[in-house]
Amino acid sequence: MATITGMACAPRNGLIKRCNQMRHIWKFFLAYFRLDLAAVCEMSKGRDEYNDFHDYRDSVVGGPWYLTRHVCKRCSKLFRI
């Protein structure tokens, strides 16, 4: 049985799909507003260097150097600002 933040979802295809969509929306919200840094790395997987949720505070360098490649100190993903 799938769960989302403590609420149980019935094992039906439509409800499971809806639970997965709600989970994705919640992770997107957490990553966009940077409330959960693990969600920032998770939601940035599969995105290109310019279109992800990382910020200069996530980089190994730590400075706001624009138009350069940064490396995330948590997930080692390359990103640009």
pLDDT tens profile 11-37: 567 888 899 999 999 999 999 999 999
pLDDT class for 6, splitting at 50, 70, 90?
Answer: low
Judge contact between 71 and 60, C-beta under 8 A.
yes
pLDDT class for 81, splitting at 50, 70, 90?
Answer: confident
Q: Given this model, what pLDDT does residue 28 score?
A: 97
- Domain segments of the chain as ranges: 3-80
- Output the pTM of the full model: 0.76
> For 35-58, how does the pLDDT look when each residue is reduced to its tens digit (9 = 90+)?
999 999 999 999 999 999 999 999
